[in-house]
Amino acid sequence: MSGTVQGEQSARFSLWRQQQRLAPYIFVSPFLILFCTFGIYPIVKSFYLAFNTTNGPRSVVFTGLDNFRFLLHDPDFYTAVYNTATFAFFSVFLQLPLSLALALLLNARWLKGRNTFRFVFFSPYLVGQVFVGVLASVVFVPRFGLVPRFLHATLAANLDIKLLGNPALVMPALVGTALWMYVGLNCIYFLAALQAVDRELYEAAAVDGANAWQQFVHITAPAIKPVALVVVIMSTLGSFQLFELPFVMMNGPGPNKAGLTIVMYLYQRGFDIGNLGYASTIGWTLALMVLLISLAQVRISGAMRGNA
Amino acid sequence: MDYPPGKAPLAILIMALASGLGLLLLPAGKSSGNLEVWTFADSHYRAYQKVVPHFEAAHPGVKVDLQFVHGRAVTSRLRAAFASDLHVPDMLETEISSAGTFFLGPLEDIGFVDLTAELHKPRPDGPPWYERIVKSRFAPYTSRRVVNGVATDHIFGLPHDVHPVLLAYRRDIFQAHGIDAEKLTTWDEFLRVGRGLMKELNASSPPGQIDHYLIGLSDTDSGDLEVLLFQRDGGYFHPDGTISLDDDVAVKTMCWYVPLVVGPERVGYPVGWNWEVTEKFLQTDFLLCFLMPDWFSGFFQKQAKSGAGKLALMPLPAVKPGGRRTSTRGGTMLGFTKKSKQFELAWQLGLELYFDVDSRAEQFQETNILPPLRAAWKHPALAQPNPYWSNQPLGQLYAAQADDTPPQYTSPYIQLAKEKMSEAICDCVDYYGKKGANGFEAFVRKRLKQSADEIRRQMKLNPYH
Amino acid sequence: MPNASLGRKYAGQPRRSSQPLRAATYLLLAITAALWAIPLVWLVCAAFKKPGDMWSYTFMPYGEPQDKLIAVDGPPNEEPWVINGQEITVGSAPGCSVRLSNDAVPPLALRLTIEDGRWIVRPGPGVRNVAINNETKAEHKLSTGDVLHIGPCSLRYEEAHTPTTRNFSDLFVHFNFGRYLLNSFFLTSAGTSISLILSSLGGFALAKYNFKGKHALLILMLATMMIPGSVLLAPSYELICKMGMMNSYLGILLPGAVGAFGMLLFRQAMLGIPDDLLEAARIDGCSEVRIYWNIVMPVVRPMSGAFCLMSFMGGWNSFLWPMIVLQSENLFTVPIALSQTIGLQGDNLYGLLMAGTFLGVLPPAVLFFMLQKEFIAGLTAGAVKG
């Protein structure tokens, strides 16, 4: 009677209470299970594999530090590091001023069609690295392609210029393509930061007699510093993991390994040759490099901020 | 209905369900045969499709599932399949430059069936298969193991081809300048006369501009250098698997090759794979000669229409008088997987695909590829005059050189070796372009030794060596 | 008295930008925008070009709208024959003047018919084979540059220089492009949907609950975000092999469903939801799941939109891992098919490649149009706030 109804209610209440308590665990668990299987386990296993060598099918042999010793003496690894670092350096330091300049231009109060311009600059990013790579491989075709013809018309370059076949020109081609892809994205970041700056600050500064350059240094620059840092860090991290663009553009590392990046090197040694252990070694070395560089960048920016 | 996460997630969810449904309904092309064959070359695929009905008729109850798998996918799929318990076909073709990579590790781990015994088995209708085929063509598919000082060869694939290399030349231009190319039997003579011809042709061009090159040779890729190295009995590896990239013959060949593609005495220009460009080369007489393996001649016929009737073939000039007049480039093997439970049946099919004289003759007419089986060389199809190639009996020309083709010894590191060679060429071309012959031989020797040492180090990393 | 010159109210006020400055800015922007847009415009045009026209026209082909037969080695002023209609017969007469005829006048050497928009040449009655490009065949599909031999004369075929949809139809008919598109759509959208649910659920739990191990989980996820994905390639490959998910959709969907980044994004977005709202719902008797689904998710719609777009774009363009996992050709996604299959076919198929690229770029572009605002807001939210 009333006892059972109350019993029912309290049973329901405790059930409800239970599910409330359990809810977070249930919500997190599918993610957690998958994360442990495909996130944590591989990380740990990779650490183990780095000290092993796999050769031939299904054979894993513990070889201790042999992989690391080999890595340190492998000229191909250094080529990959050199290529990747060069790419990262030029990518970041060419993109930064260019995207900032574009953002400044687009920030003009009186500008019409800002969204259209923004979209045009951003569209290559939408295309994605693989498709850009495919397009680039066709657009760089010597003698006939768009870019050799353009270079011939503007810089009087040789029409037969082999941008993807000449080891010396591969890096400029890569950097240029990456520039085309990512300037729009960085421009959007900068533009958002610029537009977040209160116009009144400029007005106030003008009243105080500051000229345009002083306004830039004292108002604009501090506003975009955090964004600039984020852009630099993200660009660097992204550049160090470059794989798809050169791989698709040149269907491999390119002439004389001019397009070999660290991740491509990892892929070749791990999946073309089959040495998964060595691939893990390369992976961890890359992780270490990336960590050190990020730390360095944060330090430097902190120092800059301290001095500013 | 209001989907709480929003419009876009709803659209994406619908997309997922719709495409998932579509995939379920679409026929996945499930293999419906009980004998599975993979091939990666379009021309082989088409040719084999003609052979399969014969085979199925002769073996009732057997359905052959012939699949076309792209080159890179074959290697990676096979490697993944050998590593895990993935599905493997009963037999498959693999290319010469990757076959060796499967010979890594202990013999038991190699996924292919050892065919040596089967090939040497005496047959009721004549000598064993091993004797009927050009012997040098087994080398790229053989793994030599040394046990207690005794070396044994293990053959893991049937060779599809011989791929002898001839020299294609612009007969019309040579004749117009009074040169009988067939008389140029050594490289020295050929280059001497060729240079003279080049000078004559370029006389009408503005100074400094070269509108006519003698021969198509690459300055970044090891493909052409390989051909010339093999001709001289050089190669990437010795029969015992040690690397021969820095041997004397390789150094000498590189020293001879590089001045042909860069510098003041240059006669070569890269050919590449862009057929529109090659067409222009033929129309403008930009390139006069080409290294021409049999399969390449087939491509020329189909893609480079401007050369019809103007090109002719001759044996490669020899290094020394009386020397080898050919080389080899490329190749395919047919391997049988250990996991397959139908080796006998697969073997029968393999023999029919590769060693049936009539079907190989038909393949030859499609692709110009010479069969490795000596008996097939007498087939009338090979004697037919080929109008593209100035009505020469193309098949017989290649067949005449077939027994001379040099062996290509392989190793699990063959791909690495080829890459290193390409890099070495780039560096040597660079050096010669800047410094000329000054100290060139010493540089080449050092550079090739560097590449060879890198591979040796890689080999040492392998605990099975 | 206010400074009347140039309309300034006070010294130092940024003066209303002069016309030349504005014009210069617009010019600069226009030139840069043109440089940026041209490759993509070229891409779209190239998708509609015939192989012969690929390099002859920078953008759209605009030449002769007719197919023609031109006499090789003919007199210089001889007009090419324009071939129209559905079927043409070509006969030869002495003196090497080749006539076109639409009525049956023997002897007929060649017959041309249109099939699927391409001219096919076959022998006329009384003739066994046709002679094309120095080869004799039973029939031949004409392409620009082919030379027909009729007796002593040679005619070169030149296709009309007009745009075509041939590349697209070839993609679907000769290559399995429909399948590749379907694969891409399925893997990307299913992956995004799964990711969305898992990440938002997890983010919700991390944001609005206190449970044992919450901080540990948070730190763990932040730590793993610092590790580049390439570290995971080799062991994931081994794991997938062992679990038998190699060469299957699961091998892409399952490892792809987890990304610490998404979960942290949702956590960030959900932190701002007032707790009273949730308490009120609980008092009303809502279960936690209903709170998540009906209350929280609608509130974070902008973030969901941005996340969906980012996840979709990332999944659609994903290349390295699918290339490792997907081995059968009928499982390929569009990026893999373009670079590994179609892209390796040879140089006369650039149009095909560009058509495939164009189709491959369309879906993310369309989605972006729908979600522009959310995307940019999501992008900049993290960056600007630092």
Angle CA(B4)–CA(B6)–CA(B9) in degrees, nearest 5?
A: 110
**By CA distance, what is B69's nearest residue in C?**
C329
Give strand pairing partners of B268: B215
C379 CB neighbour count, 10 Å cutoff = 17
One-letter amino acid at B147 equals V
pLDDT at C187: 94
C224 in contact with chain A, both atoms CB, cutoff 8 A: yes
Which chains does chain A touch, 3 or more C-beta pairs < 8 A?
B, C
Identify whether B337 is part of a domain: yes
Mean pLDDT of the A175-184 span: 94
Same domain (yes/no): B392, B451: no
pLDDT at C173: 86
C190 in contact with chain A, both atoms CB, cutoff 8 A: no
Average confidence (pLDDT) per 10 residues, chain B, 465 residues: 78 90 76 81 84 87 84 75 76 89 82 91 88 91 86 92 94 92 92 92 86 91 93 92 92 95 91 82 92 92 86 94 92 91 90 88 88 91 90 93 92 88 91 91 94 88 65
Is the pLDDT assigned to residue A3 strictly greater than 70? no
For A251-279, give one letter per residue: b (16+ CB within 10 A) or e. Answer: bbbbbbbbbbbbbbbbbbbbbbbbbbbbb
In order of their start, the domains of chain A are: 2-49 (no CATH), 69-307 (1.10.3720.10)
- Compute CA distances A279 → A50, A81, C233, C320, whole Å: 7, 15, 8, 14
A97 in contact with chain B, both atoms CB, cutoff 8 A: no
Identify whether B153 is part of a domain: yes
Same domain (yes/no): B204, B273: yes
Same domain (yes/no): B273, B303: yes
Cβ partners under 8 Å of residue C99, min gap 6: C90, C91, C92, C93
Containing structural domain, residue B296: 165-328+409-461
Same domain (yes/no): B291, B352: no
Identify whether B14 is part of a domain: no
C38 in contact with chain A, both atoms CB, cutoff 8 A: yes
Q: How far apart are CA C156 and CA B68, in angstroms?
A: 35
Same domain (yes/no): B295, B438: yes
pLDDT at C92: 58
Say if residues B70 and B40 touch (Cβ distance below 8 Å).
yes
Q: Lowest-pLDDT range, A72-86, A128-142, C113-127? A: C113-127
Identify whether B428 is part of a domain: yes
Pairing state of beta strands B91-95 and B35-39?
parallel
Burial of residue B3 (CB within 10 Å: 0-12, 13-18, 19+) is: middle
pLDDT at B194: 93
Same domain (yes/no): B265, B376: no
Residues in chain A with CB shorter than 8 Å from the CB of C228 are 237, 240-241, 283, 286-287, 290
- Single out the residue in B351, B378, B402 at which a domain terminates: B402
* pLDDT tens digits, one per residue of C132-165: 877 777 888 888 778 887 766 778 888 888 888 8
**By CA distance, what is C307's nearest residue in B?**
B9
B206 CB neighbour count, 10 Å cutoff = 7
- Single out the residue in B387, B402, B417 at which a domain terminates: B402
pLDDT at B464: 63
pLDDT at C385: 44
Q: How far apart are CA B205 and CA B189, in angstroms?
A: 25
Indicate the residue of B83, B101, B423 with minimum beta-carbon distance to A256.
Answer: B423
- Single out the residue in B402, B419, B443 at which a domain terminates: B402
Same domain (yes/no): B216, B303: yes
Identify whether B136 is part of a domain: yes
Which of A 228-247 lie inside 8 A of C, CB atoms? Answer: 229-231, 237, 240-241, 243-244, 247
Q: How far apart are CA A144 and CA C347, in angstroms?
A: 12
pLDDT at C7: 44
**By CA distance, what is A165's nearest residue in B?**
B220
pLDDT at B34: 82
Identify whether B436 is part of a domain: yes
Q: How far apart are CA B310 and CA A92, in angstroms?
A: 53
DSSP string, B24-91: HHS-------SEEEEE--HHHHHHHHHHHHHHHHHSTT--EEEEE--HHHHHHHHHHHHHTT----SE
Question: Which residues of B make CB contacts under 8 Å with C?
Answer: 4-9, 11-13, 15-16, 18-20, 22-23, 26, 28-29, 68-73, 76-77, 80, 83-86, 273-276, 279, 301, 303, 305, 308-309, 387-388
Tokens 């300037």 correspond to A183
> Is there a contact between B277 and A56 if contact means CB atoms under 8 Å apart?
no
CA–CA min distance B130, chain A (Å): 28
Low-confidence ranges of chain C (pLDDT < 70): 1-17, 74-78, 91-108, 126, 151-152, 343-348, 378-386
Same domain (yes/no): B84, B150: yes
Q: How far apart are CA C251 and CA C321, in angstroms?
A: 9
Both tokens assigned to C326: 């997907």
Identify whether B24 is part of a domain: no
CA–CA min distance A57, chain B (Å): 5
Q: How far apart are CA B285 and CA B215, in angstroms?
A: 11
Same domain (yes/no): B319, B375: no
Same domain (yes/no): B136, B252: no
* pLDDT tens digits, one per residue of B303-315: 888 888 899 999 9
Residues in chain B with CB shorter than 8 Å from the CB of A145 are none
> Is there a contact between A273 and B416 if contact means CB atoms under 8 Å apart?
yes
Q: What is the largest CA-CA distance in chain B?
A: 87
CB pairs under 8 A between A and C: 269
**By CA distance, what is C258's nearest residue in A?**
A35
* pLDDT tens digits, one per residue of A285-294: 999 999 999 8
For chain B, how many structural domains are there in total? 2
Identify whether B27 is part of a domain: no
> Is there a contact between C185 and B84 if contact means CB atoms under 8 Å apart?
no
Say if residues B451 and B245 touch (Cβ distance below 8 Å).
yes
Residues in chain B with CB shorter than 8 Å from the CB of C200 are 5
Q: Lowest-pLDDT range, A75-89, A274-288, B39-53? A: B39-53
The pLDDT mean for chain C works out to 80
In 3D space, the residue among B144, B112, B113, B118 whose CA is nearest the CA of residue B130 turns out to be B118
Residues in chain A with CB shorter than 8 Å from the CB of C335 are 128, 130-131
Residues in chain B with CB shorter than 8 Å from the CB of C309 are 8
The pLDDT mean for chain A works out to 85
User: What's the pTM?
Assistant: 0.82
Same domain (yes/no): B365, B239: no
Query: What DSSP character marks residue C14?
Result: P
Domain CATH number, residue B446: 3.40.190.10
> Is there a contact between B8 and C293 if contact means CB atoms under 8 Å apart?
no
- Compute CA distances A121 → A230, B293, C71, whole Å: 20, 48, 48
Which chains does chain C touch, 3 or more C-beta pairs < 8 A?
A, B
Q: What is the ipTM of this complex?
A: 0.85
Same domain (yes/no): B77, B176: no
Residues in chain B with CB shorter than 8 Å from the CB of A53 are 461-463
Task: Among B25, B74, B84, pick the best mutation site for testing chain C contact (most C Cβ within 10 A).
Answer: B84
